[in-house]
Chain A
């Protein structure tokens, strides 16, 4: 009998993990203790990083990949998947993260970009990548570079959901329009979106992105999670929203339950009660840096 061929790092295997994270919450954590709280609350995965986005925003300076020691500590603390961030275009950071065997790499605008023209060639890696997008064109460019999961960017570290809504609506709205376009119009869509035609044609046929679509950037309450899930997100990333709130454990669990029951207002009313103060929010118009503008 011939031995069945085993393949690792295939598109199916890399996109498959994103499928497993659907209907879940991925939480930013800065140490093993927070990772355990996240796992106890029902997080589907954790994102290991040195500072949550609201602190990166406050501290200023250059934000880089986290210390491998800290990532190892978080990997050892939990049994759920561990993601970590690399700077946009910084393939050497990504190579290090792959060597650390993280489960997903986030090529993230939350860190300071390393390359203002090129994103990482993600096909060159066996570890799957998630990338942010503010619109459909950006999402398709990231997918053409090998991203296996897209998250709408929102505006990280603000606790303000308005940009997340703008981005998820822009992506799902354009997908809906493309499904109504005729074959000649698809060429123009590809041109307008600055995206590969085959991906546009695939969307016209399937009515969805070729990879899962999650939402990030500004989710601070169970109602926020429900809102973006109802707008078409398949999971949510919560950054500063949990560990910058008054009672992280309780809020984390409430957001997990809200994500599962995103369309059930009675359940949402129940889980939203008595959570204490949410993280302090920021007005988008007053921001010095718009993280979502990073990425090309």
Chain B
């Protein structure tokens, strides 16, 4: 199974490493032509304004949204969560997220870099805690009825799933623990 990593900007190489460890074959997606080859996609952390801008100017956005509509499984982390969300609070007027998962997020909702933190997370179905690294992370302020919350911090969801779309406000690619990537691959390729 070929899993693309959106490589417009951000921590895409770390996701590619994590996916390889979890047993998938990663492919860097730098243009729309790569979108036809992939069976699932990871949208990494980085700057969401930069990624949205490039998705538009490099003609990735339209085809990507069509593929997601047709059921492409996607994992979005941090900026990736922002891109996949339905609503952005406190963003810029020209930010139009893909609307693939029914959540509303506040950009940099946990504050600036000084407030970035790491913390142990209790994640549904994981036996032991997962080290969550939050970097200028988005805060989930609203979730739709069909969104499953897999982990929360102080009452705010930090790990959500709706169908085959999974999003985290933390960075599973920065720790030596591939359980989130494995869970994504299981969700993506479960037979149903």
Residues from chain B with Cβ under 8 Å of A24 in the complex: 9-10, 46-47, 50
CB proximity to A under 8 Å, residues B100-121: 107-108, 112-121
Which residue of the partner chain, among A4, A13, A20, A101, contacts B121 with CB atoms under 8 Å? A4
Most buried by B among A22, A39, A259, A261: A22
Tell me, in angstroms, the Cα distance from A9 to B133 when the chains sit together.
Answer: 11
Chain B interface residue count, CB cutoff 8 Å, equals 44
Docked-complex contact A256 and B117, CB < 8 angstroms: no
Could you say which of B18-26, B52-60, B141-149, B182-190 contacts chain A? B52-60
0/1 interface trace, chain A 1-42, chain B, CB 8 Å (1 if under): 000111111101100110111111000000000000001111
Residues from chain A with Cβ under 8 Å of B49 in the complex: 39, 42, 79-80
CB proximity to B under 8 Å, residues A205-227: none
0/1 interface trace, chain B 1-28, chain A, CB 8 Å (1 if under): 0000001111111100000000000000
0/1 interface trace, chain A 121-146, chain B, CB 8 Å (1 if under): 00000111000000000000000000
0/1 interface trace, chain A 104-123, chain B, CB 8 Å (1 if under): 10000000000000000000
Which residue of the partner chain, among A7, A80, A102, A104, contacts B117 with CB atoms under 8 Å? A7
Docked-complex contact A12 and B118, CB < 8 angstroms: yes
Tell me, in angstroms, the Cα distance from A126 to B13 when the chains sit together.
Answer: 25
Tell me, in angstroms, the Cα distance from A259 to B8 when the chains sit together.
Answer: 9
Residue in B closest to A15 when the chains form the complex, CB atoms? B174
Docked-complex contact B115 and A260, CB < 8 angstroms: no
0/1 interface trace, chain A 40-56, chain B, CB 8 Å (1 if under): 11111100000000000
Q: For the complex, is B81 an interface residue (Cβ under 8 Å from A)?
A: no
Docked-complex contact A104 and B113, CB < 8 angstroms: yes
Chain A interface residue count, CB cutoff 8 Å, equals 43
Residues from chain B with Cβ under 8 Å of A41 in the complex: 53
Docked-complex contact A101 and B112, CB < 8 angstroms: yes
Q: How far is the CB of B83 from chain A (nearest CB, A)?
A: 14
Residue in A closest to B7 when the chains form the complex, CB atoms? A23
Tell me, in angstroms, the Cα distance from A101 to B174 when the chains sit together.
Answer: 23
Tell me, in angstroms, the Cα distance from A267 to B54 when the chains sit together.
Answer: 13
Residues from chain B with Cβ under 8 Å of A95 in the complex: none
Residues from chain B with Cβ under 8 Å of A264 in the complex: 30-31
Given contacts A19-B174, A256-B53, A260-B9, contact A45 B113 (CB under 8 A): no
Q: For the complex, is A201 an interface residue (Cβ under 8 Å from B)?
A: no
Q: For the complex, is A98 an interface residue (Cβ under 8 Å from B)?
A: yes
Can you give 10 contacting A-B residue pairs, CB < 8 Å?
A16-B171, A19-B174, A22-B46, A40-B53, A41-B53, A43-B50, A79-B108, A257-B58, A260-B30, A264-B31
The 8 closest A-B pairs by CB, nearest first: A4-B120, A103-B113, A42-B53, A19-B11, A23-B9, A6-B119, A44-B47, A16-B135
